């Protein structure tokens, strides 16, 4: 199947979805409305590019006719120059379209639940967790995403022993999934009197937010416990048993939430975390099955892999998966992650294109 035929099919599908959205009856079916709206939105950019592609082809054909049939040298030369410009624009557009036609990860359009946990390094690791959270919070602000804290445990010296939060917006998981893994920091801690550089680490896990339709949980498989919420150092921050702990017996997965004063709200948030963890476990099985076939540099599942180093003395960030080194660490740690994530997405797309080509 050639690209033009594939694009024509997608345009037809886009128009079909548009017709479905114009039917008032669709608003009585919330789940179907959400599914169709997401698919319609995901196709818009590609369809717009296809319309532009057809317009460029038409303009090039029109100018070629002028070159072949016109005897006016000045007009012919203008047409030749325009053909050259249009063909360069068409070439760039076709590259963009080929990337967009690579099969998307079906989870890319989902929101993300992000868990950051302190690793080696004691208090400095907890402070680094706080730095990473602030970096992601600012990146979310820049992308107009909504960020909601779901659970956290503060450290006495600053930062967090662990923090869990949800990010909502357009294609959140598509961008954030590359952050899963071990992040290492090299810097002089404020408490270091000798000025020695210490190395600490934090683990980041990015899970696609699972909805109830994605994974079914049998209530009989759950153990529920309510307890009193506490803050840093163990002091009570709530006088009622509003915090929630849920254990999924078959898998052994345990989630907690104490952010809200309402036990009911904490339970809802804990269930959202549980669904996403169980869903991620199922996805991990599929990734493992594909691992032998796809030798990807850009791992999006192995949380034990050291993926990135933040070297503060040298102002350097290194992403070890693709050999990317940048010297604007101050800007990156303040949320300017665009260049890092773009490079990872480009590498992933190149691998997907290669994989699609091998299968063709």
In the chain (360 residues long), the average pLDDT of successive 10-residue segments reads 82 94 92 88 91 95 89 88 95 86 81 94 94 98 95 91 94 93 92 83 92 82 86 50 90 90 90 90 72 53 79 96 96 96 88 65
Q: Do 155 and 127 contact (CB within 8 A), yes or no? A: yes
304 secondary structure, DSSP code:
T
Question: How would you class 245 by CB atoms within 10 Å of its CB: exposed for 0-12, middle for 13-18, buried for 19 or more?
Answer: middle
Fold of 112-353: Alpha-Beta Plaits (3.30.70)
pLDDT in the model for residue 233: 40
Q: Look up residue 279 and give its two tokens.
A: 């869903």
Contact call for residues 253 and 277 (beta carbons, < 8 A): yes
Judge contact between 137 and 107, C-beta under 8 A. no
Task: Say what the pLDDT of residue 242 is.
Answer: 85
Output the pLDDT for position 285. Answer: 75
Contacts of 140 (CB under 8 A, 6+ apart): 146, 147, 167, 169
The residue ranges of every structural domain in the chain are: 3-101, 112-353
State the pLDDT at residue 216: 83
CA–CA distance, 246 with 225 (Å, rounded to integer): 6
d(CA 10, CA 155): 51
Picking from 194, 241, 250, the residue whose alpha carbon sits closest to that of residue 221 is: 250
Q: Tokens representing 209?
A: 């937010």
Strand bridging mode 306-311 / 253-257: unpaired
Q: What is the distance between the alpha carbons of residues 257 and 162, in angstroms, rounded to a whole number?
A: 12
User: For residue 163, what is the enclosing H or E element?
Assistant: strand 160-168
Which one, of 128, 223, 236, lies nearest residue 185 by Cα?
A: 128
What the block records as the tokens of 245 is 């702990």
The whole model's pTM is what?
A: 0.70
Which of 111, 121, 140, 276 lies closest to 183 in space, CA to CA? Answer: 121
* pLDDT for position 231: 59
Topology annotation, domain 3-101: Methane Monooxygenase Hydroxylase; Chain G, domain 1 (1.20.58)
DSSP 182-217: EEEEEE--TT-TT---EEEEEEEEEEEPPPTTT---
Tokens 């919420």 -> residue:
229
User: Is residue 139 within 8 Å of residue 131, measured between CB atoms?
Assistant: no
CA distance 231 to 237: 6
Q: What pLDDT does residue 234 have?
A: 41
């Amino acid at each position: 199947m050639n690209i033009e035929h594939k694009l024509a099919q997608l345009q037809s599908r886009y128009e079909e979805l548009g017709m479905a959205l114009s039917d008032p009856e669709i608003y009585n079916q919330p789940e179907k409305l959400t599914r169709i709206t997401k698919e319609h939105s995901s196709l818009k950019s590609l369809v717009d590019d296809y319309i532009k592609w057809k317009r460029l082809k038409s303009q090039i054909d029109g100018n070629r006719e002028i070159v072949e049939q016109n005897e006016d040298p000045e007009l012919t030369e203008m047409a030749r120059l325009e053909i050259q410009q249009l063909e360069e624009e068409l070439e760039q557009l076709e590259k963009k379209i080929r990337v967009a036609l690579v099969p998307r990860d079906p989870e890319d359009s989902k929101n993300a639940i992000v868990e950051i946990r302190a690793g080696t390094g004691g208090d400095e690791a907890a402070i680094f967790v706080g730095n990473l959270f602030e970096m992601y919070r600012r990146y979310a602000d820049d992308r107009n995403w909504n960020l909601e804290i779901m659970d956290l445990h503060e450290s006495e010296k600053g930062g967090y022993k662990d923090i869990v939060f949800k990010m909502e917006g357009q294609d959140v998981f598509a961008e954030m999934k590359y952050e899963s893994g071990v992040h290492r920091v090299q810097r002089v801690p404020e408490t270091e009197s000798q000025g020695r550089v210490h190395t600490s680490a934090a683990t980041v896990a990015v899970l696609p937010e699972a909805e109830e339709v994605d994974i079914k949980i049998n209530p009989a498989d759950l153990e529920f416990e309510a307890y009193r919420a506490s803050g840093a150092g163990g002091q009570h921050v709530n006088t009622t048993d509003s915090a929630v702990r849920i254990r999924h017996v078959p898998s052994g997965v345990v989630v907690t939430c104490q952010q809200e004063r309402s036990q009911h709200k904490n339970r809802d948030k804990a269930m959202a975390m549980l669904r996403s963890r169980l869903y991620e476990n199922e996805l991990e099985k599929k990734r493992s099955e594909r691992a032998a076939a796809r030798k990807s540099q850009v791992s999006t599942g192995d949380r034990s892999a050291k993926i990135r180093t933040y070297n503060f003395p040298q102002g350097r960030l290194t992403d070890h998966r693709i050999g990317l080194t940048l010297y604007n660490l101050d800007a990156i740690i303040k949320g300017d992650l665009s260049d890092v994530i773009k490079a990872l997405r480009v590498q992933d797309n190149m691998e997907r294109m290669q994989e699609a080509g091998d299968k063709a």
